[in-house]
Amino acid sequence: MADATRSTLYRPLTSRSPDEPHRAATPLELFFDLCFVVAVAQAANELHHAIAENHLGQGVLGFLLVFFAIWWAWVNFSWFASAYDNDDVAYRLTTLVQIAGALILAAGVPRAFEHGDWKLITLGYVVMRLAMVTQWLRVRRDDPPRRATATRFAVGILLVQIGWVLRLLLPPQWGLISFFVLVVCEMLVPLWAEHGTPTRWHPHHIAERYSLFTLIVLGESVLAATVAIESASGTGHTTALVWLAAAGLVIVFAMWWLYFDRSAHDLLTSFKRAFQWGYGHYFILASAAAVGAGLAVVADYDTHTAHVPGVVAAYAVAVPVAVYLVSLWLLQICPHHRGLVVYAFPATIVLVLLAPFTPAPIQVIAVLMAALVAVVVLAGGPRSVDLPGRRA
């Protein structure tokens, strides 16, 4: 009994097997994901209001920057957990510290959007990064074959985080340039650290983790649109809002269907392809979140509370839908499909981008998305779906 207790309190943080059967997301990982719901909702809400108030450039740029901060924090934890989750007390406590940092990040989203004040988001990152460096130092001690890899991760994460803190001291005109420089440094750290003896992440587990986060973001899109339509109800525009709600649901349902048509784990056959697939998901996830904000903008337009023309409001939905389709096409459709399906995506993307010039743009986009799903179902051949929590 004493030995069992000690093993629960502390286990060496050594690499898990990438061939481990029935590997699925843990309750702690699911809890981590749910805490990111707050941050995603904050970012989508700020984008909605920025576009509705005709602050397009500021709103879109702010959303892309803030969403990167949200997404990258999630990516750092998820890939580490895929290789090293030993579920001892120390690991759990360190992860809970990261969750606290994520909530601080979420609290800082409105400030970053409205005033360009990144102090609170940076503080959240400091909390998360101290916990992540602690985890990598544990790996350095407990996993000798990957000691150099863990050292590079710890040093790289720490140095870049120091860069983010120092960025707060720069004059405002250097803010955007320094942000993009540090983003590049962030994305180079894993590529540098994994050189040599790489970590042993689990392909099924990684595919499931991204699937779960995609579900969360799609759910946020539904929630954002629902809240906007609910707040606009009773304004004498019931018919328009009902049609918007129906079209919005079809669009989000189609996005879900297209993403989950096939499992992506068989695409993660090398580090190069895994990094491309993982990094490319920024565009899938950001665009999925933006669709909800766009639907909320259209609800404002239909109730005459938005300060943008109808075409701009429609493009608030059409552009993120098109980006979602382009990203999905490149990352998951082309590697899985041949023939009609591969050509149907570009055709749909073009038509989606033309839809804002039609009398009922959101309904047209919904019809186009439903038609694309039909093409995928009828011409895509047998599917190999790996739903979260299930293994083929």
> Greatest CA separation found in the chain?
72
Q: Region 300-310: what's the mean pLDDT?
A: 89
Which of the four pLDDT bands, split at 50, 70 and 90, describes residue 267? Answer: confident
pTM: 0.90
* CA–centroid distance for 206 within its chain: 13
Q: Can you give the pLDDT at residue 69?
A: 92
Nearest of 120, 116, 65, 77 to residue 282 by alpha carbon = 65
For residue 380, give the DSSP letter.
S
**Tens digit of pLDDT for each residue in 216-248?**
899 888 877 777 667 666 666 677 888 888 899
Provide the CB-side half-sphere exposure for 14 (13 A, CA): 7
For residues 77 and 331, is the Cβ–Cβ distance under 8 A?
Answer: no
96: how many CB neighbours lie within 10 A of its CB? 15
Domain ranges of the chain: 25-193, 203-379
For residues 290 and 45, is the Cβ–Cβ distance under 8 A?
Answer: no
DSSP secondary structure, 286-329, as one string: HHHHHHHHHHHHHHHHHTT--SS-HHHHHHHHHHHHHHHHHHHI
Name every residue whose Cβ is closer than 8 Å to that of residue 24 and which is 6 or more positions away in sequence: 205, 208, 388, 389, 391
The CA-CA-CA angle for residues 357, 363, 364, to 5°, reads: 50
| Rounded Cα gap, residues 297 and 303, in angstroms | 10
Name the 3-class secondary structure at 142: helix
The CA-CA-CA angle for residues 60, 277, 249, to 5°, reads: 55
For residues 276 and 349, is the Cβ–Cβ distance under 8 A?
Answer: no
Lowest mean pLDDT among 16-25, 204-213, 264-273, 305-314: 264-273
Dihedral of CA atoms 47, 77, 213, 55 in degrees, nearest 10, equals 10
Lowest mean pLDDT among 24-38, 178-192, 329-343: 329-343
Q: Can you give the pLDDT at residue 235?
A: 62
For residues 233 and 94, is the Cβ–Cβ distance under 8 A?
Answer: no
The CA-CA-CA angle for residues 201, 164, 45, to 5°, reads: 80
Which of the four pLDDT bands, split at 50, 70 and 90, describes residue 381? Answer: low
Q: Structure tokens of 242?
A: 């009902």
Lowest mean pLDDT among 94-98, 184-188, 337-341: 337-341
Instruction: Tell whether the model's pLDDT for residue 122 goes beyond 90.
Output: yes
Query: What is the sign, positive or negative, of the torsion defined by CA atoms of 210, 215, 216, 220?
Result: positive
For residues 156 and 193, is the Cβ–Cβ distance under 8 A?
Answer: yes
| Rounded Cα gap, residues 232 and 303, in angstroms | 7
Q: Structure tokens of 129?
A: 């990064």
For residues 182 and 163, is the Cβ–Cβ distance under 8 A?
Answer: yes
Instruction: Tell whether the model's pLDDT for residue 116 goes beyond 60.
Output: yes
CATH architecture label of 203-379: Up-down Bundle (1.20)
| Rounded Cα gap, residues 108 and 112, in angstroms | 6
Higher pLDDT, 344 or 380: 344
Q: Can you give the pLDDT at residue 47?
A: 94
| Rounded Cα gap, residues 62 and 46, in angstroms | 9
202: how many CB neighbours lie within 10 A of its CB? 22
Q: Structure tokens of 140?
A: 């350095």
Q: Can you give the pLDDT at residue 390?
A: 45
**Tens digit of pLDDT for each residue in 47-104?**
999 999 999 998 999 999 999 999 999 999 999 999 998 888 999 999 999 999 999 9
What average pLDDT is seen over the chain? 88
Name every residue whose Cβ is closer than 8 Å to that of residue 381 and which is 6 or more positions away in sequence: 337
Q: Region 281-288: what's the mean pLDDT?
A: 96
| Rounded Cα gap, residues 333 and 338, in angstroms | 9
Dihedral of CA atoms 73, 75, 79, 80 in degrees, nearest 10, equals 0
Nearest of 378, 281, 384, 365 to residue 339 by alpha carbon = 378
**Tens digit of pLDDT for each residue in 130-148?**
999 999 999 999 999 999 9
Q: Can you give the pLDDT at residue 7?
A: 44
Name every residue whose Cβ is closer than 8 Å to that of residue 191 and which is 6 or more positions away in sequence: 275
| Rounded Cα gap, residues 348 and 170, in angstroms | 44
